[in-house]
Amino acid sequence: MNEVWTLVFDLDGTLAETAGDLVGALNFVLEGEGVDAVPVSAARSLLGAGARALIQRGYARAGCELTQAKLDALFGRFLTHYNAHIADHSWLFPGVEACLDACLAASWRLAVCTNKLEHSARLLLSALGVADRFQFVCGQDTFGAAKPDPRPLVETILKVGGGVGRAIMVGDSVTDIRTARAAGTSVIAVDFGYTDVPVSELGPDRVISHFDGLLEAAEALAKPR
């Protein structure tokens, strides 16, 4: 690979198992409103679109109505609680650190593009000890748009000096795949993240089951066609 390429990672369900803390924060706000708690086992169908969507889905799961004003208030409570417990029950998936180091050694640019708020994403990456591996971290508030809108991904690639035609999205869900397709990048999917449909059925360019296989998959996609 002669040209420098960019890898842009989703965070929740891709780099890290975060369901425990996200659902914990959700249940904190639901229980304060007398709404049924959500089991962590339900996370795969609820996560991936950001905290506001998570709260909305928690209410819908309980068959409860939620006004915009109430959502705004609950979002503030969610965020305060979540940021205070950012990695109580979250951890990197096996092989992540070694993979990131191998990618850096192979001269890949690394960035994160998540539907978390940027501050929460940076807090989590710092708590997990990998913040220094990434040149840029994009949250849903960084550019005023959330995935699957392609703008956050495109702007992230540009921020690290990359080009859309020389970038690969790494994610775990239909949101990440749609984002990559809309942006015009290749996409590698992990099959252990938060999706209620097998990720292989969603049309990624490659599927990996462990981070040991990421660099090889990325380099194969980066070869001149």
What is the tally of structural domains in the chain?
2
Question: Token digits for 10?
Answer: 């989703």
In this prediction, residues 187-205 reach a mean pLDDT of 93
Q: pLDDT value at position 206?
A: 98
Catalytic annotation, residues: 10
Mark which of 68, 84, 100 sits at the end of a domain: 84
- Is there a single domain that holds both residue 143 and residue 215? yes
pLDDT at 94 > cutoff 90? yes
Q: pTM for the complete prediction?
A: 0.92
Q: pLDDT value at position 37?
A: 85
In this prediction, residues 79-90 reach a mean pLDDT of 96
pLDDT at 1 > cutoff 60? no
Across 126-136, b (16+ Cβ under 10 Å) vs e yields eebebeebbbb
Query: Is 1 a domain residue?
Result: no
pLDDT at 2 > cutoff 70? no
- How many whole angstroms separate alpha carbon 15 and alpha carbon 3? 25
**Which domain range does residue 75 map to?**
19-84
Domain containing residue 165: CATH number: 3.40.50.1000
pLDDT at 42 > cutoff 80? no
The confidence band for 225, taking pLDDT boundaries of 50, 70 and 90, is low
DSSP string, 66-96: --HHHHHHHHHHHHHHHHHTTTSS-EEPTTH
